[in-house]
Amino acid sequence: MAHRSPVWLVTAVGLLAVLAAPSFPGRAAPAREERGCTVYGDKVASPARVLLGESVQVRLTLHADCPPAVLEPADIVMAIDRSVSMAQDGKMDAAKSAARSFTAATDLSLHRIGVVSFAGTAQLVIGLSQDRAAIETAVNGIGIAPSTNISAALDMSAQLLRRDGRPEARWVIILISDGSPNQPMPDPRTAAIRSANFAKIDGMRVFAIGLGRDADPPLLQSLASGSDHYWFAPGAEDLVAIYESIAVVIASSAVSDVVVEDDLAPDVTLIGGSPTPTAEVAGSRLTWRAATLPSGGLSFVYEVEGNRAGTYPTNARAVATFRNADGSAGQFTFPQPQITVVDPNEGVPCSDPNAWSVLVHAFPDAIGRSPSGGAGCNNRFDSGDWFGGTWPGLPPLEFQLTDAGGTKTLYRGRSVPGPGRVDQRLLIRACDPPPYRLRLLNEDLHGYLLCPNSPAEQLVTARAYARSPFRSTEVRFGFTVPER
């Protein structure tokens, strides 16, 4: 597989379309109507409720809705290495096949493709054309020659675009090489970088592909217009997918120069190594950069831990800045998701011998007759419930006991298997007198439903203790399964 982040490696190709060309030195931008994309996003923290010490995943997503008016023609030059090493391991055949696939995926009623080949020198194989058959014939005719001169390839590609490129089109160079340059002397690498910089100054977007184990990734990355404009293909079989990915990136680049900055809140700590894609981390700030906003959007993920018990946001500020299709600067502010962090030691059971006890009893309540006349949900753990049970066991259940106002946590804990084989129990001892609120915290009940007479939150009043001289009461949670 090609070595790319999953955010960028897209293998489905749509119609190739590109954004309006901004004004660059040495190139006049045509007059055009104002137009832009609507950029939107979201930020979610999951799970929203955790115990102190548990991690929370934070996900930011960014998308753009662009009107058809921003789709502009592109003039694209494919610069293909034809050095002797390209004849090995089927690399030249694969490069030609990928170039043909790229041409087949391009809407040549709107875009144009030219081809340059290079070895010790560069050769113009075909100028910017909309003749699909002529382009494919030109690609098929590329031969093999000694040496590698990447500088000459970039210079000839840029010269073609400067001379024949349409001012309203996006100018693109796609260069592929399987090795390091050895021409021109005395410093072929510096010459290649200089040529790439001249092309980029004139507003050309340079994509670079390294093919095989002898490729020069550091050099090719420096030639590309950004980290997301460089691809590495370990083998020839990866090239078609890479060319398809480049087609999608070009087609989806109406929003460019994306920078996402996320300032973490002081109450959370970043879990090292968790940001995906890798972020620049400086203090409490995470930063991601992307040259374009693809049609499928961008996604950034990381994990944090809460530093204290309570409810608070995961970040102080999260903002995306970008350049819109009309050339204007844009900004989107992400929402601030909140998390609730609970101290597992909060509400330790009361040790006072005169404490009030709450026995929580949870069980599958599928047997018996309910008050409404139906089967089950009679709020009793009948012998049939004990013997029959249901298909899977109940999941581990977590309960919280608070004061009547819900502001003070008296106890939080998980139930344990009860003596009835399929039931669960939890004994809570509280020093504070009733009334209480007892709440089941589980959101995922593994397919079970709470019985109508067993709501997730139940009020425990002083009257519940009137029947017992030992300050104890039982609260039942009955579960059933939906009809299948």
**Distance between CA atoms of residues 93 and 97, nearest Å:** 6
More confident residue, 26 or 113: 113
**pLDDT for 20:** 31
What pLDDT, in 10s, does the model give residues 418-467?
877 788 999 998 888 999 999 999 988 888 899 988 999 999 999 988 87
**Distance between CA atoms of residues 132 and 76, nearest Å:** 13
Buried b (16+ CB within 10 A) or exposed e, 279-315: beeeeebbebebbbbbbeebebebbbbbeebeebbbb
pLDDT interval class at 14 (50, 70, 90)? very low
What pLDDT, in 10s, does the model give residues 70-85?
566 889 999 999 999 9
Q: Which domains are delineated in the chain?
A: 38-66+255-342 (2.60.40.740), 72-251 (3.40.50.410), 356-480 (2.60.40.10)
What pLDDT, in 10s, does the model give residues 249-284?
665 556 777 899 999 999 999 999 999 988 999 999
Q: pTM of the full predicted structure?
A: 0.46
Please, which contacts does 409-418 make with residues 24 or more away whose CB atoms are closer than 8 Å?
Answer: 409/342, 409/346, 409/347, 410/347, 410/436, 411/347, 411/348, 411/349, 412/342, 412/344, 412/346, 412/347, 412/441, 415/360, 415/362, 418/361, 418/363
